[in-house]
Amino acid sequence: MGLDSGPETTKMLQEKLRTMKTVLWNGPLGVFEMPNFAKGTFAIADTLAEITQHGCITIVGGGDSVAAMEQSGKADKVSHISTGGGAALELIEGRVLPGVAALQKV
């Protein structure tokens, strides 16, 4: 069972993120609620805040990801934050969301 990302994986992810123009993050890297397993998640939160300052559009979706951003103190440092993770992913996948479909009929 994976409880956190390791330092090499975290570093690789941070390097890749620094090359992006747009990032959608949905899902923490580990069990961030437990301090011993929060390092990877909080490191990515720090990186998202950093790249936002350099013009990257950063979107954080999903209740756990939002909670991780809030606990890291970086929630106000990203472009957009939403607890609607699953619905947002379905919309990006091109699925029809009943609420959106109903609004389109109005």
Q: Answer whether residue 3 shows pLDDT above 90.
A: yes
The tally of CA atoms less than 13 A away on the side-chain side of residue 56 is: 23
User: In terms of pTM, does the model score above 0.85?
Assistant: yes
Domains and CATH numbers, the chain: 7-105 (3.40.50.1260)
Reading the block at residue 104, the tokens are: 């389109």
Q: Answer whether residue 75 shows pLDDT above 90.
A: yes
pLDDT digits (tens, 9 = 90+) for 25-65: 999 999 999 999 999 999 999 999 999 999 999 999 999 99
- Tell me, what's the pLDDT at 84? 86
Task: Identify the bridge partners of residue 38 per DSSP, sorted by sequence position.
Answer: none
Q: Which residues, in sequence order, are CB contacts of 55 under 8 Å at separation 6+?
A: 21
Q: Measuring CA to CA, which residue among 8, 44, 43 is closest to residue 26?
A: 44
